[in-house]
């Protein structure tokens, strides 16, 4: 059963809570017409969470799991990871972004983000799904926040930053995103060649460079995790 909560950092955001659900993103995809812009669904348990490339997001009962329904088309792939990093600064947690939108802490994955768009001849809505580990997950190379804080307080902190970022232009967003990037100046192996990540452009694409010149790649063209591993294994 989904319950509406009378809480939230901004009146324009509506919070909902469910004890258990297969996927908060899937629920909003199937029911977006029934909810207003800036609705947030928080799950205490998610049994069939999804990540990029249809990976399974395995969550524990104490993890932070929520999706935001947004009916205005903005740069959520940039905004969402930044909101997490900025929101966690309040707790002296120095997280960074592993392009395109995973959030890492101490070189281990802290948070995954899945953004899904709905089109019906034109843009209708975006769903931003966020999962954050509260405790370490050694078998998955995951790290948790490991702080004694209420998860709803942490979500509020992230949403406050999310709302501020909605008003920034793309140039300012990318500048902030570069500041929190964990892969700029890292080496990657792509299409048989070694490159250095030298920048993230205004479209959120990676700029790679080697002696032959520079190329730009989107997240659909490169699996950054595999490319980083291939470089490490090659050397």
Q: How does pLDDT run across 1-37, given as a tens digit for each residue?
A: 899 987 665 678 999 999 999 999 999 999 999 999 9
Q: For position 52, which CATH number holds? A: 3.30.930.10
Strands 14-21 and 39-46 come out as: parallel
Percent of the chain topping pLDDT 70:
89
Q: Are residues 45 and 130 in the same domain?
A: yes
The kind and range of the H/E element at 79 are: helix 76-89
Bridge partners, 109 (sequence order): 104, 142
Q: Are residues 164 and 196 in the same domain?
A: no
Residue-range definition of the domain harbouring residue 86:
2-180
Whether residue 7 contacts residue 15, with contact meaning beta carbons closer than 8 Å, is answered with: yes
Q: How many domains does the chain have?
A: 2
pLDDT tens digits along 192-231: 999 999 999 999 999 999 999 999 999 889 888 888 866 5
Q: Are residues 8 and 50 in the same domain?
A: yes
Q: Are residues 166 and 226 in the same domain?
A: no
Q: Are residues 173 and 193 in the same domain?
A: no
Q: Are residues 86 and 137 in the same domain?
A: yes
Q: How many whole angstroms separate alpha carbon 121 and alpha carbon 132?
A: 33
Q: Are residues 166 and 105 in the same domain?
A: yes
Q: Are residues 59 and 96 in the same domain?
A: yes
Close Cβ partners of 165 (under 8 Å, ≥ 6 residues apart): 79, 82, 83, 86, 173, 176
Give pLDDT, residue 42. 96
Please give the residue that has the higher pLDDT: either 57 or 97: 97
Q: Are residues 127 and 38 in the same domain?
A: yes
Whether residue 174 contacts residue 200, with contact meaning beta carbons closer than 8 Å, is answered with: yes
pLDDT at 53 over 50: no
Give pLDDT, residue 52. 54
Indicate the pTM of the whole model. Answer: 0.92
């Amino acid at each position: 059963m989904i319950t509406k909560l009378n809480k939230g950092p901004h009146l324009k955001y509506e919070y909902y809570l469910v004890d258990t659900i297969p996927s908060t993103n899937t629920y909003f995809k199937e029911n977006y017409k029934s909810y207003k812009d800036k609705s947030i669904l928080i799950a205490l348990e998610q049994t069939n969470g999804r990540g990029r490339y249809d990976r399974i997001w395995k969550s524990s009962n104490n993890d932070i799991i929520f999706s935001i329904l947004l009916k205005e088309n903005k740069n959520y792939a940039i905004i969402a990871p930044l909101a997490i990093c900025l929101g966690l600064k309040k707790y002296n947690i120095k997280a960074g972004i592993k392009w395109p939108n995973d959030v890492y802490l101490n070189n281990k994955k802290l948070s995954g983000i899945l953004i899904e768009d709905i089109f019906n001849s034109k843009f209708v809505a975006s769903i931003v799904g966020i999962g954050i580990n509260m405790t370490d997950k050694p078998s998955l190379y995951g790290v948790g926040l490991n702080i004694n804080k209420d998860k709803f307080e942490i979500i509020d902190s992230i949403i406050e930053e999310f709302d501020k970022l909605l008003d920034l232009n793309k140039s300012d967003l990318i500048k902030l995103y570069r500041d929190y990037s964990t892969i700029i100046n890292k080496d990657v192996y792509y299409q048989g060649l070694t490159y250095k990540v030298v920048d993230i452009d205004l479209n959120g694409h990676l700029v790679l460079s080697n002696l032959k010149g520079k190329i730009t790649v989107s997240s659909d063209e490169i699996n950054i995790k595999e490319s980083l591993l291939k470089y490490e294994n090659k050397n």
